[in-house]
Structure 1
Amino acid sequence: MSDSLSATADPQLVGIAPDERSIAAWPAVFALGMGVFALVSAEFLPASVLTSIAADLSISVGAAGQTVTVTSLVGVVAAIFTPIVSSRFDRRLVLWALMFLLALSSLTTALANGYAMLLAARFLLGLSLGGFWSMAPALSLRLVPARSVPRALAIISAGVSAAFIGAGPLGAYLDALLGWRMVFVLSAGLAGVALLALLTTMPRLPSQTVPRLETLAVLLARPSVRLMLISVLVTISGQFTGFTYIRPFLEQVPQLGVTAITFVLLGYGFGNVIGNFAGGAVVARGVKLAIVSFALATAVLALAMLLFGSSPIVAGIAVALWGFAFGFAPVGFQSWMVRTAADHAEAASGLLTAAFLVAIASGAVLGGLLVDHVGGWGPIGYMAAATFAGAVLVLVAGKEPPRP
């Protein structure tokens, strides 16, 4: 993470006296990271229990995958409007409310007696996800001194990697052991723990500015920001078309059982953690290099899965390397946005969050159509094409953003 993430770069921080953040509130930062872990785990749990949900509710696998779509679409709106609608409230109160929504969503999912109730539960998750993600990075800047901001953001982002390790393999394993409904009961419990951490550690964070929609127009007028958002939409839609429907692929092509799928997803998660650290080192050499490396490596690995994925060994290795490659993406895109929009960091964070969620939603929609009409290999094929196109786009049109 670059040093351009300073207190003076974010409108939320204007007017904060130095002594107000001279001592880092690390417990609160870790609580934010725990909240992110709970949110991302709940967001992608359907990927590991997709076939079980479909069978229990008598819907197609593609229809079950649209629970990810609903979450993402609602999250887009929440990411943009939550800071505006909640501008008069202490930010810790907003965080508490959003984490409570997560717990309510997971419990409602566990109790769903039909498709409509399931979608309603995921609607609540979208509100929590988009709102929390749009606020957490900016609020972390208010919890620690400026020199500690990169470390604080790294802690919060670590929640994503931890979720990739836990949500996929544990979800698949617990689904076989206890059933998919109990998986979401445990998700609600995790949200409760995160809420307790936020309740006991988060200091008062009164709202200091009223975000404006006009700021988004200013950012979108910048060619570098537009190119970044387009590249997110292309590459991340491919990434999550494949990830959302990876279980059907593993069941149909290499014909893996539940235990084997659990270990494969665990390999993806550990690969992603290592990729996050490696991605930080690559970003230090070049943001463009990190993003192109992620997209091109993912395309090559997807092609390998299509050609040789009938081999369980090849499929397992490819998925682990895929997780490693994706570790480059968040730090790469975040650094790109920060370097090109340091003067409007909070609004830029909202745009980046919205772009990711739109990409995830579109990927889930297309992946659902492909898995229902083509089979488990269809989403992987689209992932190969989309990430290759994204790599070419950034390589040809992208310019290395200025260093801080």
Structure 2
Amino acid sequence: MAITQAASGKAAVQKTSSLPLLSLTVGAFAIGMTEFVIMGILPNVAEDLNVSISAAGQLITMYALGVAVGAPILTMLTHRIPQKRLLAFLMGLFILGNSISVIAPNYAVLMGARMLTALTHGTFFGVGAVIASSLVAPDKRAGAVSMMMAGLTIANIIGVPLGTFIGQHMGWRASFATIALMGIATLIGILIFIPKLKQEKPVGIMQQLAALANPRLQLFLVIAVLGNAGLFAIFTYIAPLLVQVTGFAEHSVTWILVLFGCGVTLGNMIGGKLADWKLMPTILGLYLIICVILALFTFTVHNPITAVVTIFLWGAASFAVFPGMQVRIMSLAKSAPALASTTSHSAGNLGNATGAFIGGLVITHLSLTALPWVGSILVGLALLLGIFCLLIDRRHAG
């Protein structure tokens, strides 16, 4: 889905404006909030709909599966729709899904609404990343993508606590109503500020699939899975780790996660700038740093001060790698960058689920304290594959 910028003066003015990127950032914030806020209001949902906590937890699982499986399919089916119109369509589905959640009379309807909303997640970020990178000069692409992704990271710091507070004081349906209103604001921003981008002839589905079959692209998708698996093998169980091993009180975990989110946001912005400077060295360097941090976390987790410092640095490094990975994956599928970008989000969600599963096995068969070094090994595997990809790139360049 190759894109060239419109040559009109109006498009040129819009291109230099931060308002188009801001519209994408607000959309990313809303999507991040709808994905994660359910964790904070899960007991409220379970009680109101008369289901168990474990059943309500499937609302999270099915959302992740909707992103992992549905997003690439939706991207392929909508590949002929112009990018701006497609973003507006996706945000319309997002608003519809959250509006249905507000009035859902039972668990089944709420599950359906969550899966409908999940379909928009990966495709929005996939198409949004392509648009964001096309709005700036080639050497600023990763920075533009990181600005859009900042909405997702900020959602964890501000959006999820806000949505949880609203849900606990006004009812869980009010949380989804708030998200729907953010979706409406995003839709207005897309319609007003996102420029119309001139498309070349749409690439057929078979050609898009052929682009995804690129072995180098497949390797980077595996790297994304391993990197996220290393992150979520630990992050999924961060609360019991901090309470049972480090010795924090339960109420302190929330503020530590806010600090983690601050590291995530800072790392995301710095990572985008570093990737614009040196793409592959940044990706590999960050994976190496994450490996070291997680290996050290095996020891620092036993002290409250060192544990908190390590968690902040871990969050910063883990999310600093994402903008560069996104740009690299898009560049490896030039004929289908939106599908490649969407598929990278699917790979990331697969990594999230895989990491949580591996973490559970580690706790069952080893111990909570084994999580950091197991995470370090998973990220180390991603690093080794990244080095292998770099050697392949140099051989092609030679």
For this pair of structures, how many residues does the alignment match? 392
Higher mean alpha-carbon deviation, 67-76 vs 278-287, is at 278-287
Classify the secondary structure of the residue corresponding to 1:130. Answer: helix
Structure 2 residue 12 is the aligned partner of structure 1 residue 22: yes
Distance in 1 (alpha carbons) for counterparts of 2:293 and 2:344: 26
**Structure 1 residue aligned with 2:316:** 324
The 1:251/1:41 distance shift into structure 2, 3 A limit, reads farther
Question: Would the aligned equivalents of 1:77 and 1:354 in 2 still touch at CA under 8 Å?
Answer: yes
Query: How far did residue 208 of structure 1 move?
Result: 5.2
Question: Would the aligned equivalents of 1:173 and 1:262 in 2 still touch at CA under 8 Å?
Answer: no
Residue type at the aligned position of 1:271: G
The 1:254/1:367 distance shift into structure 2, 3 A limit, reads same
The 1:212/1:361 distance shift into structure 2, 3 A limit, reads farther
The 1:83/1:167 distance shift into structure 2, 3 A limit, reads same
From 108, 123, 129, give the equivalent of 1:131: 123
Question: Would the aligned equivalents of 2:330 and 2:338 in 1 still touch at CA under 8 Å?
Answer: no
CA deviation digits over 1:169-196, x for unaligned, max 9?
5456666666655444433332232233
Structure 2 residue 288 is the aligned partner of structure 1 residue 260: no
CA deviation digits over 1:141-194, x for unaligned, max 9?
565677876664443233233223324554566666666554444333322322
Gaps spanning 5+ residues in structure 1: where?
A: 1-9
The 1:149/1:340 distance shift into structure 2, 3 A limit, reads closer
Matches within 5 A, 1:35-50: 35-48=27-40
Matches within 5 A, 1:273-352: 273-283=265-275, 286-342=278-334, 344-352=336-344
**Structure 2 residue aligned with 1:12:** 3
Question: Would the aligned equivalents of 2:280 and 2:390 in 1 still touch at CA under 8 Å?
Answer: yes
**Structure 2 residue aligned with 1:224:** 216
CA deviation digits over 1:10-67, x for unaligned, max 9?
62338x5465733325333321221112112222334555676677765456x65544
The 1:109/1:259 distance shift into structure 2, 3 A limit, reads farther
Structure 2 residue 28 is the aligned partner of structure 1 residue 69: no
Residue type at the aligned position of 1:328: A
Classify the secondary structure of the residue corresponding to 1:22. Answer: helix
Gaps spanning 5+ residues in structure 2: where?
A: none
The 1:284/1:144 distance shift into structure 2, 3 A limit, reads closer
Higher mean alpha-carbon deviation, 51-60 vs 204-213, is at 51-60
Question: Would the aligned equivalents of 1:234 and 1:390 in 2 still touch at CA under 8 Å?
Answer: yes
Residue type at the aligned position of 2:13: I
Higher mean alpha-carbon deviation, 233-242 vs 192-201, is at 192-201
CA deviation digits over 1:55-88, x for unaligned, max 9?
7765456x65544432232223443233443345
**Structure 2 residue aligned with 1:160:** 152
From 354, 368, 383, give the equivalent of 1:391: 383
Residue type at the aligned position of 2:211: L
Distance in 1 (alpha carbons) for counterparts of 2:297 and 2:142: 36
Distance in 1 (alpha carbons) for counterparts of 2:14 and 2:44: 44
Query: How far did residue 232 of structure 1 move?
Result: 0.9
Higher mean alpha-carbon deviation, 220-229 vs 84-93, is at 84-93
Query: How far did residue 132 of structure 1 move?
Result: 1.1
Distance in 2 (alpha carbons) for counterparts of 1:178 and 1:160: 24
Classify the secondary structure of the residue corresponding to 1:326. Answer: helix
The 1:149/1:273 distance shift into structure 2, 3 A limit, reads same
Query: How far did residue 246 of structure 1 move?
Result: 3.2
The 1:242/1:134 distance shift into structure 2, 3 A limit, reads same
Residue type at the aligned position of 1:270: C
Higher mean alpha-carbon deviation, 204-213 vs 118-127, is at 204-213
Question: Would the aligned equivalents of 1:299 and 1:387 in 2 still touch at CA under 8 Å?
Answer: yes
The 1:346/1:185 distance shift into structure 2, 3 A limit, reads closer
Residue type at the aligned position of 2:4: L
Residue type at the aligned position of 2:125: W
Distance in 2 (alpha carbons) for counterparts of 1:370 and 1:183: 34
Distance in 2 (alpha carbons) for counterparts of 1:369 and 1:242: 12
Residue type at the aligned position of 1:219: A
Matches within 5 A, 1:175-214: 182-203=174-195, 209-214=201-206
The 1:277/1:232 distance shift into structure 2, 3 A limit, reads same
Classify the secondary structure of the residue corresponding to 2:201. Answer: coil
Between the aligned residues of both structures, percent identity stands at 26
TM-score, normalised to structure 1's length? 0.77
Question: Would the aligned equivalents of 2:146 and 2:268 in 1 still touch at CA under 8 Å?
Answer: no
Classify the secondary structure of the residue corresponding to 1:210. Answer: coil
